Amino acid sequence: MIRNLSVGAKLTKKTTSEEKNTEEITELDLVDLTSAFQYYVQNSPRKLNNIAQQEIGRLVRWIGPEREIKTITPSEIGSYSDEFAKRTSTDTAPQKVAYIKKFLTFLKINELSSGNLASHLRMKKSNVGKITKKLEETKGLEINLTEAGYKDYEKQLKDYKTEMPTLAEEVRKAAADGDIRENAPLDAAREKIEMVNSKIYEIEAILKVANIIDSSSQGDQIVIGSKVTVKNHQSKNNQEYQLVEANEANPLVGKISSVSPVGAAILGRRTGDEVTVSTPAGEQVYTIDAIK
């Protein structure tokens, strides 16, 4: 239940430079998180913008609106960092973290919390930033996938998303077990959830711009998506490949990249053509026997 915050409130000002412009509650009983949040919004020295209120509100809902402030633990704030990282881009994260930290600092200064919770809210370095930069550099370029490759990405995405609730529960359990500063299971769980979250972000971005190619409409010429049978003149063996883009390549299942030595040599060729490929073992000569 939210209290009438205007009753019994007496405000003074901190005088130290570090706590300048921060209001101190001396005669106000704020026990639950919602009451403190509402008071903070209404009495902040500077009016909070909508983004600040939204971010602090998310924290309040995640922990529990009626939660007693004194019972909030550092490990819970650490776990919220992982939740925060899942839904926040690297461009906006620093400012959003700052909004939440100011609120947590407000709780500490006014002795509402049982410690400095703000120090446990961190913005970990993530692969998401690198992925974002990589995708920005290739913006406007098509990512060509075979139909099978597209479906494989869809399956991976579904599997990763299915895994997330289990990983989140592992983080919660690990966070509740002992000192979070020396908690190897917690660190491992957080690293795992960060890796999975990065993969989800990457796959979603790929599928958003992917172009499913139809190799059957390209006649007898080898294109991305073509399945090719070639004969190695040196070994006399026939080998089957499917030519794909680099992001779909998997030599273990016969998918070779169009920029690999063999892939680059056969791209655009026709049945009966001979190609010479330079390899670490020397030059290899192939004849293209069939194109599907």
Distance of alpha carbon 222 from the chain centroid: 37
Q: Write the pLDDT tens digit of every residue in 248-261.
A: 998 889 999 999 99
Closest to 175 (Cα-Cα) out of 184, 166, 162: 184
Band (pLDDT 50/70/90 cuts) for residue 292 is confident
**Does pLDDT of 20 surpass 50?**
no
Whether the per-residue pLDDT at 13 is higher than 50: the answer is no
Give the pairing of strands 238-244 and 227-232. Answer: antiparallel
Whether the per-residue pLDDT at 274 is higher than 70: the answer is yes
- Residue 149: CB partners within 8 Å, gap ≥ 6? 244, 248, 255
Return the minimum-mean-pLDDT range out of 12-21, 50-59, 147-156. Answer: 12-21
The pTM of this model reads 0.51
Winning range, highest mean pLDDT, from 75-84, 124-133, 170-179, 261-270:
261-270
The answer to whether residue 205 scores a pLDDT higher than 90 is: no
**Mean predicted confidence (pLDDT) in 12-35:** 55
127-212 and 215-291, same CATH topology: no
Q: Which of 188, 197, 198 is nearest to 180 (CA)?
A: 188
DSSP category for residue 252: G
For the residues 74-86, what does the mean pLDDT come to? Answer: 79
Checking if the pLDDT of 230 tops 60, the result is yes
Residue 4: the pLDDT is 39
1: confidence class by pLDDT, cuts 50, 70, 90: very low
Percent of residues in the chain assigned helix, strand, coil, to nearest 5: 50, 15, 35
β-pair partners for 279? 282
pLDDT above 70: percentage of residues in the chain = 76
Task: Please give the pLDDT value at position 216.
Answer: 67
| CATH 3.10.50.30 is right for the domain spanning 215-291 | yes
Q: 28 or 10: which carries more pLDDT confidence? A: 28
* Model confidence at 85: pLDDT above 90: no
Q: Give the helix/strand (H/E) hosting 59.
A: helix 50-63
In this prediction, residues 4-27 reach a mean pLDDT of 41
Q: pLDDT tens digit string along 276-285?
A: 998 777 899 9
CA-CA-CA-CA torsion sign (89, 95, 98, 103) = negative
Q: How do the domains of the chain map onto residue ranges?
A: 11-120, 127-212, 215-291
The CATH architecture of the domain made up of 127-212 is Orthogonal Bundle (1.10)
DSSP string, 71-117: G--HHHHHHHHHHHHHH--TTTHHHHHHHHHHHHHHHHHTT-SSS-G
- Cβ–Cβ < 8 Å for 59, 77: no
pLDDT band at 61 (very low <50, low <70, confident <90, very high): confident
Does residue 199 sit in helix, strand or coil? helix
